[in-house]
Amino acid sequence: MPGSVTSASACTVNCVLKARLKVWRGAPGAAGGYEHHEVPYESGQTVLDGLRWIRVHRDPSLAIRFSCINANACKECMIQVDGKTVYACTTRLVEREMTLEPLPNKALIKDLVTQIAPPDER
């Protein structure tokens, strides 16, 4: 049936791909945990696109940090995806579960936001 294939490599017309994002949520001094979100996407979209979709369509309280879209600044969206430190704005969504976590070596502010500025710049 045309348009019914959901594989990224075979999808050419009217396809809606779904990424499953397992997002760590929490704040300092409180128990944290994972939330699961299914996010529609098109080939080429990024983890940051998926996180922004969650904030608009599911949960505006999700804390994420990014500046590249607004201030032409980089390195604000660093998180861990599947255990690797990456930029959310360049990591592509894929049609499987992806685990998103805050940076483990930085102080947690909330959810995926960590303290990234050096102490003398705060």
Please provide the DSSP assignment of 78-105 as one string.
EEEETTEEEETTTSBP-SSEEEEE--TT
pTM, rounded to two decimals: 0.82
Report which of 50, 64, 62 is spatially closest to residue 17, judged by C-alpha positions: 50
What are the structural domains, with CATH classification, of the chain?
17-116 (3.10.20.30)
**Separation of alpha carbons 13 and 67, rounded Å:** 33
pLDDT tens for each residue of 38-75: 999 999 999 999 999 999 999 999 999 987 655 556 77
pLDDT tens for each residue of 14-41: 678 999 999 999 999 998 999 999 999 9
